[in-house]
Copies of this chain bind each other. A is one copy, B any other.
Amino acid sequence: MADPTPTPTPTRPLTRAGVQAARDLIAPYIHTTPILTNATLSRLASTPQPPSSTGVPRPARPTLRLWFKCENLQRIGAFKVRGAFHAIEQLKRSPAEWAATQSRGVVTHSSGNHAQALALAAQTSGIPAHIVMPSISAAPKIAATRGYGASVVFSGSTSTEREAAVAELVAATGARLIPPYDHPDIILGQGTMGLEMLEQVAGLIAAADAADTTDGDEPSGVNEQDRPPPRTLDAIITPCGGGGMLSGVALSCEGTSTRVFGAEPSFEDADDGKRGYYSGRRIETVKSLTIADGLRTPVGAIPWSIIYERRLVAGMYSVSEDEIKAALRLVYERMKLVVEPSAVVGLAVALYNEDFRAMVEREAGDAGWDLGLVFSGGNVSLEALGNLFAEP
């Protein structure tokens, strides 16, 4: 018998405390991915662009110290496991729901990282997973999803065809739908990376400060309660596709002094989030073939409510395909890290977006900002990379 309410109702408040609770739930299943820095990239970000490339007479002069959260080194090679594991752990909290899910399984539609993430999370808990993928999906992605024990069901490539296939599956199996981003448990799960970033960078800054101090003694007369809170990130930029990560990270920083920004590709109007944010109205369809293929989706309704309606995101910025490629090249050549094109849109904003850079110069002054950037994933085939960069 099919479950009449396939989408679970929110079980957690969409708050920073909700993200903290999610973190405890998923801790056994995910990696605490490293934070890396790179002196060359921080220097480049702190160097004015050539005036010829900016079209402005005086390019901005921000000071930016970059901190990279390496979710490309996360399990399945992308942050998406955070939300997937959290959604399944939440189901376990209701014995009745869990009993039903154990026999009927979970279902989603994704041609990308969410497919593998949900497949792994389902396999880990021993429940069936049904993944609807467009029949034109790359063979390695299909193989990887099946490799985690999921059953793959093919559909056409349009969202209508995809949703019809999901509805059919839900009707036939009673499996529970775990959507890729427009769901509270997914958002809270993705937000856990924000908490890690604030803590990890605070620790790294404190360690660097301690190493800089020649005299290790505490100044006399300073009481524990008089100390300022530990210094950490002034801001975080995350990529924004459906907005699950961006809204989750925004929740993780609510009530702190860390501002959160979103980054998108501008190619073929993939910057729906930015256009919606500045026009005050969510844009519900996107049809772009940007190389940042994880960011071809419009922002979902629940992410939107956090990003825009609650104003937890301080601004949205977009970058061109060439800027994404240039940032990608720098990460490969300077950091020796494999990242997918979607992962570097935040870095591209920090390096090339004059609106962002001028804002940082204005807001941060000479002190500059410690800026966190999320390398969201590293799942790019060598063929796709080759097609992007091979000489003609």
Chain A residues in the interface with B (C-beta under 8 A): 72-73, 77, 328-329, 332-333, 335-339, 378, 381-383, 385-391
Complex contact B382–A389 (CB within 8 A) = yes
| Least CB distance, A319 to chain B, in whole angstroms | 18
Complex contact B378–A386 (CB within 8 A) = no
In the assembled complex, which residues on chain B have CB atoms less than 8 Å from the CB atom of A333?
A: 338, 381-382
A339 to B333, CA, bound (A): 10
A131 to B329, CA, bound (A): 26
A381 to B389, CA, bound (A): 9
Contact residues of A: prevailing secondary structure: helix
A73 to B338, CA, bound (A): 13
A390 to B386, CA, bound (A): 4
Nearest B-chain residue to A381, judged by Cβ = B333
Complex contact B382–A329 (CB within 8 A) = yes
A359 to B381, CA, bound (A): 34
| Least CB distance, A386 to chain B, in whole angstroms | 3
Complex contact A382–B383 (CB within 8 A) = no
In the assembled complex, which residues on chain B have CB atoms less than 8 Å from the CB atom of A385?
A: 382, 385-386, 389
**If the complex has contacts A336-B72, A338-B337, are A391 and B382 also in contact, measured as CB distance less than 8 A?**
no
In the assembled complex, which residues on chain B have CB atoms less than 8 Å from the CB atom of A328?
A: 382
In the assembled complex, which residues on chain B have CB atoms less than 8 Å from the CB atom of A391?
A: 383, 386-387
Q: List 28 A-B contacts (CB under 8 A).
A: A72-B336, A73-B336, A77-B336, A328-B382, A332-B338, A332-B382, A333-B338, A333-B381, A333-B382, A335-B338, A336-B337, A336-B338, A336-B339, A336-B378, A337-B337, A337-B338, A382-B385, A382-B389, A383-B389, A383-B390, A383-B391, A385-B389, A386-B386, A386-B387, A386-B389, A386-B390, A387-B390, A390-B390
Further contacts, 14 of them, CB under 8 A, given A72-B336, A382-B388: A328-B382, A329-B382, A335-B338, A336-B337, A337-B337, A337-B338, A338-B338, A382-B385, A382-B389, A383-B390, A385-B389, A386-B391, A387-B390, A387-B391
In the assembled complex, which residues on chain B have CB atoms less than 8 Å from the CB atom of A389?
A: 382-383, 385-386
Among A332, A382, A385, the most chain B Cβ lie within 10 Å of the Cβ of A382
**Looking at the complex, which one of B335, B339, B381, B386 makes contact with A388 (CB distance below 8 Å)?**
B386
Nearest B-chain residue to A378, judged by Cβ = B336
| Least CB distance, A222 to chain B, in whole angstroms | 34
A19 to B66, CA, bound (A): 36
A387 to B383, CA, bound (A): 10
A332 to B383, CA, bound (A): 12
A336 to B335, CA, bound (A): 11
A336 to B391, CA, bound (A): 23
Among A378, A389, A391, the most chain B Cβ lie within 10 Å of the Cβ of A389
In the assembled complex, which residues on chain B have CB atoms less than 8 Å from the CB atom of A378?
A: 336
A72 to B337, CA, bound (A): 10
A146 to B329, CA, bound (A): 20
A332 to B339, CA, bound (A): 9
Q: Which 7 interchain pairs have the tightest Cβ spacing?
A: A386-B390, A390-B390, A382-B389, A386-B389, A336-B378, A386-B386, A336-B338
| Least CB distance, A236 to chain B, in whole angstroms | 21
A385 to B390, CA, bound (A): 7
A390 to B329, CA, bound (A): 16
| Least CB distance, A55 to chain B, in whole angstroms | 26
In the assembled complex, which residues on chain B have CB atoms less than 8 Å from the CB atom of A332?
A: 338, 382
A299 to B347, CA, bound (A): 43
